[in-house]
Amino acid sequence: MVGAVRIDDTDLVLRLLTAVVLCGIIGFERSTRDEVAGLRTHALVGLGAALFTLVSAYGFADFATARSPQPDPTRIAAQIVSGIGFLGAGAIIRQGVTVRGVTTASSLWIVAAIGMAAGAGFFVGALVSTFLVLVVLVVLRHGR
């Protein structure tokens, strides 16, 4: 067997906690606006994306063989991106001619990306993205 890629428990916990905290901050902003998806939903989406990323990168290392030295971690990551669209669609509500929840659906999509970044150990990208999301949600918000 080819040498398996591993992650230590401390790094694993740090990545998962980072995802929950950063995505929870965005969810808190959505909660203050009384949106359908708030702190818990955003934190869970980010945590799930981080865990899927970790599992895809490290969970199948024992299946490595000489013919296939490293399973492809991008396969599960690609499914996170498409799967989150289904969850985001549930946040969009049509009320007469008005459509609500598109911003919340978008925030669910980006917290999945932030969770994936945290899961991959790309902390700067996750942190800067969280900051930019908050700028868009708070600073660029105009009256409804």
Extract the tokens encoding 124.
Answer: 């700067």
Domain assignment present for residue 18? The answer is yes
Instruction: Kindly provide the residue ranges of all beta strands, DSSP E only, lying in the chain, ordered along the sequence.
Output: 93-95, 98-100
**pLDDT (0 to 100) of residue 113:** 96
Domain assignment present for residue 31? The answer is yes
Domain assignment present for residue 4? The answer is no
Residue 140's CB: how many other CB atoms inside 10 A? 7
**pLDDT (0 to 100) of residue 93:** 80
- Looking at the 3D structure of the chain, how many domains does it have? 1
Is residue 109 predicted with pLDDT exceeding 60?
yes
Confidence of residue 66 (pLDDT cuts 50, 70, 90): low
Is residue 3 predicted with pLDDT exceeding 60?
no
**pLDDT (0 to 100) of residue 1:** 42
Domain assignment present for residue 56? The answer is yes
Between β-strands 93-95 and 98-100, what pairing exists: parallel, antiparallel or unpaired? antiparallel
The pTM for the full model equals 0.87
Domain assignment present for residue 77? The answer is yes
**pLDDT (0 to 100) of residue 28:** 97
SS3 94: strand
Q: Mean pLDDT throughout 4-19?
A: 92
Domain assignment present for residue 2? The answer is no
Task: Check if the beta carbon of residue 17 is closer than 8 Å to that of residue 126.
Answer: no
Q: Mean pLDDT throughout 103-127?
A: 96
Task: Check if the beta carbon of residue 45 is closer than 8 Å to that of residue 68.
Answer: no
Q: Which domain holds residue 26?
A: 9-139
**pLDDT (0 to 100) of residue 137:** 95
**pLDDT (0 to 100) of residue 64:** 65
Domain assignment present for residue 1? The answer is no
pLDDT digits (tens, 9 = 90+) for 14-55: 999 999 999 999 999 999 998 888 999 999 999 999 999 999
Domain assignment present for residue 3? The answer is no
Rounded to the nearest integer, the mean pLDDT of the chain is 87
